[in-house]
Amino acid sequence: MTPYFPGHGDHRYMVSHYDLALKYRVSNNRLDGVALLTVTAAEQLSVLDLDLGAFRITGVTVDGVPARHLHGRGKLRVTLPWSLATGAVTRVEVRYSGSPVPVRSPWGGLGWEELSDGVLVAGQPIGAPSWFPCNDRPGDKASYRIAVTTASPYRVIANGTLTAQRRGGGTTTWIYEQPEPMASYLASVQIGRYQLMEVAGTRVAHPARLGTRVRHDFGRQGEMMAVFTDRFGPYPFAGYVVVVVDDELDIPVEAQGMSIFGRNHVDGRRGSERLVAHELAHQWFGNSLTVSCWSDIWLQEGFATYAEWLWSESSGGPPAADHARRWHEHLSVLPQDFVLTDPGVGTMFDDRVYKRGALTVHALRRTLGDGVFFPLLRAWTAERRHANVTSRDFAEHVHRHAADPTGPLLSAWLHDKPLPPMP
């Protein structure tokens, strides 16, 4: 299968850890970075191709030894001072500076983006190179340390746990540790004049003037977390934070241990609560269990969409069966011109993929019954915790845990274009 983004990522090596030290000036969008990557060769290696946007490279070293490098068209090619054997580990340091700009994509700019007063990072699927050098493919997950220094009036929120906060000379350095493996597109930094409060057991960073609306609109997240923990298994990370930016966003943004919403998603009436459920569910499906390749995006978006339906039926709204019936009727009159396990780049974020993915999950639930389906789901998240997954992995998992044959059912939903009937 042809990769969806052949210009991103490299299977010849893996990164096990990123140590990012960033200095950022909000006033003129200036970023100075030092990135230290711990790299393992998957085959004999003499050059290393990293994904990185249009920055000025001020130095590259490999295990402390200066290395020749060439940078252009989104790639930083490092000529290693010595050849690496398969399995060999080395540390590559890249020093860079410039004004970060989003990565161009069919969906607009992705990655590091200036807000009216601060920064948002929206990396899915190929935005990570807009702010740090990386192996930008979802199948290469690593631990992270992210240190950001910026003007003291601003709060910095990044993935993981805040382990240190140092003030000096009008700036503050914020240091976050993310020990659980994370794909590059899920790495995120949010900078803004935020207040932080606890809402239903979740930290929420928000503009001061939106505090009352935020407290109400995210007030059921504790119940939501309890429902999803029951259905999906234990929450997979040390914490969860919600960021509400003082700008309007087309859709919320997914990151590991974090979700980012626009002020337009906070109306004081819980008008966007299904999106709150969707983004929270991504912590299991997408962030802990991450697709190996983008063609399998239904494994993330289909399950997160189904989580919306589960929350609906658990919180007094219509049951999942009603949502499934309505969306099956809706999809049945729309073009059925893609395969769920390979929708194509232009269709991967199409709502039909999300809803057909959710219908696939519901069809499996209807076939197996709740007594088999939910234990199967909890086993799926437990066995694949912090790993990468494929549609084949999921089909094999279902086969192992289901007493009745499910191969024809899954084959029709996953590999045929026509929409199957609901069981």
Q: Where in the chain is the domain with CATH 2.60.40.1730?
A: 1-189
Q: CATH 3.30.2010.30 region(s) of the chain?
A: 194-283
Four-residue CA torsion sign, 108, 8, 186, 195? negative
**Looking at residue 90, what is its pLDDT?**
98
CB atoms within 10 A of CB 276: 23
Q: In this predicted model, what pLDDT tens digit does every residue of 356-370 receive, in sequence order?
A: 999 999 999 999 999
Reported confidence tier of residue 2, pLDDT bands at 50, 70, 90: confident
How many Cβ atoms are within 10 Å of 113's Cβ, its own excluded? 21
For residue 152, give both structure tokens.
Answer: 């003291």
Angle at CA of residue 151, ends 150 and 153, nearest 5°:
125
Strands 290-291 and 388-389: parallel
Peptide bond into 236 cis (omega under 30): no
322-330: list long-range contacts, CB under 8 Å, 24+ apart: 323/358, 324/358, 324/359, 324/362, 324/422, 325/422, 327/355, 327/358, 327/359, 328/359, 328/419, 328/422, 330/355
Question: Tens of pLDDT along 138-171?
Answer: 999 999 999 999 999 999 999 999 999 999 999 9
Q: What is the dihedral of CA 173, 174, 180, 184, to 10 degrees?
A: -70
Give the model's pLDDT for residue 308.
98
Residues of the chain with CATH 1.10.390.10: 290-415
Neighbours of 140 (CB within 10 A): 22
Per-residue pLDDT tens for 89-122?
999 999 999 999 999 999 999 999 999 999 999 9
Q: How confident is the model at residue 386 (pLDDT cuts 50, 70, 90)?
A: very high
What's the mean pLDDT in 343-353?
98
- Kindly state the average pLDDT of the residues 69-94: 98
- Cross-strand pairs, 72: 75
User: Is pLDDT of 1 > 80?
Assistant: no
Q: How far apart are CA 127 and CA 253, in angstroms?
A: 12
Residue 403: pLDDT band by 50, 70, 90 thresholds?
confident
pLDDT at 365: 97
The arithmetic mean of pLDDT across residues 311-329, rounded, is: 98
Q: Rounded to whole angstroms, how far apart are CA atoms 43 and 46?
A: 10
Question: How far is it, in rounded angstroms, from Cα 348 to Cα 387?
Answer: 21
pLDDT at 182: 98
Contact between 192 and 117 (Cβ < 8 Å): yes
Q: What is the DSSP letter of 289?
A: B
The angle subtended at Cα 53 by Cα 56 and Cα 110, nearest 5°, is 145
Q: What is the mean pLDDT of the segment spanning 42-60?
A: 98
The sheet carrying 253-255 orders its strands as 195-199, 202-206, 241-245, 258-262, 253-255
Determine the Cα–Cα distance for residues 177 and 383; give it in Å rounded to an integer. 24
Q: What is the pTM of this model?
A: 0.97
Average pLDDT, the chain: 97
- Using CA atoms, how far apart are residues 411 and 423, in angstroms rounded to an integer? 14
Q: How confident is the model at residue 405 (pLDDT cuts 50, 70, 90)?
A: confident
d(CA 263, CA 243): 10
Give CA–CA dist 352/418, Å, rounded.
12
Mean pLDDT value of segment 248-259? 97
| SS3 assignment, position 93 | strand
Residue type, 422: M
What are the tokens at 324? 């499934």
Alpha-carbon distances of 240 from 64, 159, 335, rounded to whole Å? 36, 9, 38
305/349 Cα distance (integer angstroms): 12
Architecture of the CATH domain 1-189: Sandwich (2.60)
Question: 194-283 maps to which CATH number?
Answer: 3.30.2010.30
**What class is the 290-415 domain?**
mainly alpha
Beta carbons within 8 Å of 397's beta carbon, 6+ residues apart? 376, 379, 380, 383
